[in-house]
Structure 1
Amino acid sequence: MAGLGEENLEMLRHLLGRDVSHEWGSCRDYMDVYNLHIDDLRELVQKNAGLYAEKYIMHLLGKGGLRNAKSFRYFVVKENENIDDWLKDSYQEG
């Protein structure tokens, strides 16, 4: 299976209380991540698990760069920036 390794999946299972292995590639874009998983991501950030939030974002997308995942985690998840503003101002293609 592509995506996160077993250690990361186990940690996310512990942090979120469920198996997320089947969620690999389930989101088309960051808007899907926001609409479907923002509460999970905020829970990870509240637990000081920002690194796992970033890994989870990339897992959900099935791809993606760490730069966008870090930016999304900080501005949208932690600082509550409007997703549309983030997509317009901060998201980087490729």
Structure 2
Amino acid sequence: MSHITRVEIMSGETGEIRTIQDKEKVRLFLDEVKNIQFIPQENQEERSGFRYSVNLYKGNGKTFGFSMNMVNEHYYNTEPNLFPIVNKWFSGAKEEASN
């Protein structure tokens, strides 16, 4: 994950995208999410909508993406819950942008 240079978080509610580009903040974000366990959900029926999606970039190339409960078209629960972590970073990126 040390090659990640940018994290983009999109709100599924508003479509707003917040970007984390500061090298130290990218590292801190990755440290918080790297040990999240993704536990496959029994029900894999297709759904619509999402709370947040996260895309990781190396330079201009997307290397990986996930939502709060989906990775590579498979649905998961997360342990610990991924939403509060991503929500905190999304909110923090807004505060950073407005300063």
Larger radius of gyration: 2
Q: What TM-score range do you get, normalising by the shorter chain?
A: under 0.3
TM value normalised by structure 1:
0.26
Answer 1 or 2: which has greater strand percent: 2
Q: Which has the higher contact order (CA 8 A, sep 6+)?
A: 2
